[in-house]
Chains A and B, each alone.
Chain A
């Protein structure tokens, strides 16, 4: 791709990643969440594939695959965290610790430190979607071959 596309990709890549992270992090407060944020972050990878070619990322296949598995494991493990009560029980909510603040009533800007295990699950899903979607785009580009372009 041309130098214009490459330069803009260099600028936008971190922004897209950060925005994806923002959507994941605020999943329990605003529209969006793990899946949407992960998809936004994966679009950053797609941008790199378009601008620099799939070869530039082909070394990252193992990393993406591991990240995807980790996301899935983390999600299921968070479900197991509640086993003292019931599976998927939100043991962190209202505990006062990590994400454990009580949810404020009335109009408020939103407290990030609430909702217990939900934000953690959002992160797990986010990483899974980022890695999974990124891997799909990357593999399509890699197997598409040179003569397709």
Chain B
């Protein structure tokens, strides 16, 4: 079985998602157990793949071949769908599995049975399968298929509370954006297929000549993936989506934006790595700055706790774009500070998943207890919910990049790297962080401080456990970042920055 670990991490949640409604007909307990088993299995498979990839290099798995490593047919032409997991893909898988392990047990307690819990769990499993597929695939069309799987599952989760007025609107908005994004991606793939007659990422990458069609395809890729990753100015679906989806499931939506960013890195560094010039890098940097500033200012204006956190999450996307963008800008000379910035951007993906995940769980707890997320009606919850208040404080400080929490660990790398590229970049990033600190201080004050209010509902213990796990993760990553950077982030950054030839030879041989 272990030889098939990469595909099992995708196929098991897919099968599990389809089987969930059937098992729910038998008994609700069986369904809950089944969902837990699936998520645990994905965690084990992803962990196994990650250890294997970090110690022994790229793992290629070919579907339907005579043996899993039979990548090419005679003539050196890859025809089958294949999974190619390098250090970056494995790192993305680890983030996904971590968030799934936190989100699903909490969701079992958080989602009310009469609101269609079975369907939410099914959609969650499918979303998980899609995200894992995007992280592991080595085929452009396959990436598109998984992109669509995540789009459909995500939209259905967002519009899940059909009886409210805002959820269907948010779902419609998101569906529109995701459809356009999916079509742009498909068009780009069609251009490349028309030109080179191949869909395998590594094979197309070798053939790319940098013609006008290739450049057009690159623009379409950029547009599609930035749209899905909620970068400004196409970020406006994200606050609605994060705010309206059942809050526990918003954790998976956060990973969904990150895996789109991962797709962007894959396209820029691996697919177009041979022909890219610095213009694209500066474009990514500019998008990053725009995203972080716009989202931080938008967060300042929010009165809804969920939307405020969502804008905070969007602004973090800007930091990742900035970090990796600086790496792209300096690709030609490959100075040390470029790698530092890339490490920061990639490390920030993990940190952002933890902090934003914890914030969304806090929002879920507040909403569960008070039935509202409106900051004008909330207040004084710190007396009745001291744990939640503490977790919210830890997560907001981490998000604003205050030491010794994990947000600081990755942001300092981004500041360092981008300062060497241009001091203005670092200055904007630091100022945005200060602004975010102000935003979250206000949110904390608005929701948790103030005169005591009575709290009748208790927060279910699985949600508190999930919060605790994330908070401990935030602390550990903040206190000993060096270990994680060396073990996972540096290989991931190097896989993108230097590893293109390794990726290509792993697929095509020689």
| Chain A residues within 8 Å of B, Cβ to Cβ | 65-66, 69-73, 75-77, 79-80, 82-83, 85-90
* Cβ–Cβ contact B7 & A87, under 8 A: yes
**Chain A facing B: main interface SS:** helix
CB proximity of B388 to chain A, nearest CB, Å:
37
Contact A76 B15 (CB under 8 A): yes
Task: Find out whether the CB atom of B18 lies under 8 angstroms from the CB atom of A86.
Answer: no
The answer on a CB contact under 8 Å between B64 and A73 is no
On whether the beta carbons of B66 and A85 are closer than 8 Å, the reply is yes
Contacts A66-B25, A73-B22; is A87 near B11 (CB within 8 Å)? yes
Task: State in angstroms the CA–CA spacing of A102 and B457 once bound together.
Answer: 66
Cβ of A79: which chain B residues have Cβ within 8 Å of it? 11
Q: How far is the CB of A101 from chain B (nearest CB, A)?
A: 19
Number of A-B contacts (CB under 8 A): 59
Q: Does B440 contact A (CB under 8 A)?
A: no
Contact present for B67 and A85 (CB under 8 Å): yes
Contact, CB under 8 Å: B66 / A69:
no
Check: B473 CB closer than 8 A to any chain A CB.
no
A69 with B65, Cβ < 8 A, contacts A79-B11, A87-B7, A87-B11 known: no
Inter-chain contacts of B14 with A (CB < 8 A): 72, 76
Please indicate the chain B residues that have their CB under 8 angstroms from the CB of A88 in the complex: 63-64, 81
CB pair B18 A69 closer than 8 Å: yes
Assess whether B404 is interfacial by the CB under 8 Å rule.
Answer: no
Contact indicator A89/B64 (Cβ below 8 Å): yes
Q: How far is the CA of A76 from the CA of B18 in the complex (A)?
A: 9
**Complex partner residue of B63 from A65, A66, A73, A86, CB under 8 angstroms:** A86
Top 10 A-B pairs, shortest CB-CB distance: A72-B18, A76-B15, A88-B64, A87-B7, A88-B63, A73-B18, A69-B21, A69-B22, A86-B68, A73-B19
A69 pairs with B19, CB closer than 8 A: yes
Inter-subunit contact A76/B22 (CB<8 Å): no
A80 to chain B: which residues have CB within 8 Å? 11, 15
What's the nearest-Cβ distance from chain B to residue A125, in Å? 12
| B61 at the A interface (CB under 8 A) | yes
The answer for the CA separation of A79 and B12 in the assembled complex, in Å, is 11
Measured between beta carbons, the chain A residues less than 8 angstroms from B63 are 86-89
Report A-chain residues with C-beta under 8 Å of the C-beta of B231: none
B316 to chain A, nearest CB (A): 34
Task: Tell me if B62 counts as interface (CB < 8 A to partner A).
Answer: yes
Interface: B4 (CB within 8 A): yes
Q: Which residues of chain B from 167 to 189 have any CB-CB distance to chain A below 8 Å in the complex?
A: none
Contact B4 A86 (CB under 8 A): yes
Whether A77 contacts B15 by the Cβ 8 Å rule is yes
Contact code string B376-388 (vs A, CB < 8 Å = 1, else 0): 0000000000000
- Could you tell me the distance between the alpha carbons of A77 and B22 in the complex, rounded to whole angstroms? 15
Given contacts A69-B21, A72-B18, A73-B22, contact A86 B62 (CB under 8 A): yes
**Complex: A79 Cα to B8 Cα, angstroms:** 10
Give CA–CA (A80, B20) in the complex, Å: 17
Do the beta carbons of A86 and B64 come within 8 Å of each other? yes
- A82-B25 contact, Cβ under 8 Å, with A72-B18, A76-B15, A87-B7: no
For the complex with contacts A73-B15, A86-B63, 11 further pairs of A-B residues with Cβ separation under 8 Å are A65-B21, A66-B22, A69-B20, A71-B18, A72-B14, A76-B15, A76-B18, A85-B66, A86-B7, A86-B62, A87-B8
Contact A87 B22 (CB under 8 A): no
- Least CB distance, A66 to chain B, in whole angstroms: 6
> In the assembled complex, which residues on chain B have CB atoms less than 8 Å from the CB atom of A87?
4, 7-8, 11, 61, 63-64
Give the residues in chain B near A65, CB-CB below 8 Å. Answer: 21
Cα A87 to Cα B81 in complex, Å, equals 11
Contacting residues, chain B, for A72 (C-beta < 8 A): 14-15, 17-18
Question: A26 CA to B21 CA in the complex, in Å?
Answer: 30
Q: In chain B, what residue has the closest Cβ to A75?
A: B18
- Chain B residues within 8 Å of A90, by CB: 64
Q: In whole angstroms, how far apart are the Cα atoms of A85 and B4 in the complex?
A: 9
Interface string of B25-69 (1 = CB under 8 A from A): 100000000000000000000000000000000000111111110
Query: Once the chains are docked, how many angstroms separate the CA of A85 from the CA of B7?
Result: 13
Known contacts A76-B14, A80-B11; A86/B21 CB under 8 A? no
